[in-house]
Amino acid sequence: VDNVVPEKFIPDRNVTGYGYLRNPSSNLCVDLVGQNEFDRGYLKAGLYSCQGGHSGAQIFSYARTKQIRREWGCLTATSGSEHVKFLTCAPHPQDNVAQLWEHTKDGEIKNVQLGLCMDVQGLKNMDTLRVIKCQHTPEQLWSFENYL
């Protein structure tokens, strides 16, 4: 793969975490909820009951670049909206800080640009993932299936 498609993203290479991204208090995972990620248009980062690794739509990687990503798309938080989007990853991660996330040792995932945390309070299957002020609650704690 390195010689044929050197820019290809490998889900468990140059990452610190990969697999499903789960909020343990709700058992909700970040999910593309039936959207076709290869449309490369505006997609929402949704939530759905964790499928224990059996749903490809729930597989994400936490890259060393601080992006939470899949093949081509990254979770993105922009000012003016609490909803997290799934948009094309910036070729140079520092060019789009809306796509950079800090995964704290306590388990929070905070958007670098906005300083807001991923949160599931009051949300259910098929809702859109959101970011709000960090409050250090169980609804704001996340873990990847695997850590390296």
pLDDT tens sequence across 26-58:
999 999 987 777 676 778 999 999 998 788 899
Please indicate whether residue 41 or residue 126 has the higher confidence score (pLDDT): 126
Residues ≥6 apart with Cβ < 8 Å to 8: 1
4 pLDDT higher than 70: no
**Of 59, 49, 43, nearest to 23 (Cα)?**
49
* Dihedral sign (CA 97, 102, 103, 106): negative
- In the block, tokens 């704001």 appear at 140
pLDDT classification of 72: cutoffs 50, 70, 90: confident
Can you give the pLDDT at residue 23?
98
What integer pLDDT is reported at residue 71 of this predicted model? 84
CA triple 23-25-26, angle to 5 deg? 75
Cβ-Cβ contacts under 8 Å for 80 (sequence gap 6 or more): none
State residue 43's pLDDT score.
Answer: 87
Question: pLDDT-derived band of residue 7, with 50, 70 and 90 as boundaries?
Answer: low
* Chain centre distance of CA 143: 11
The pLDDT tens digits for 85-96 are 999 999 898 889
Helices (H), 15-89: none
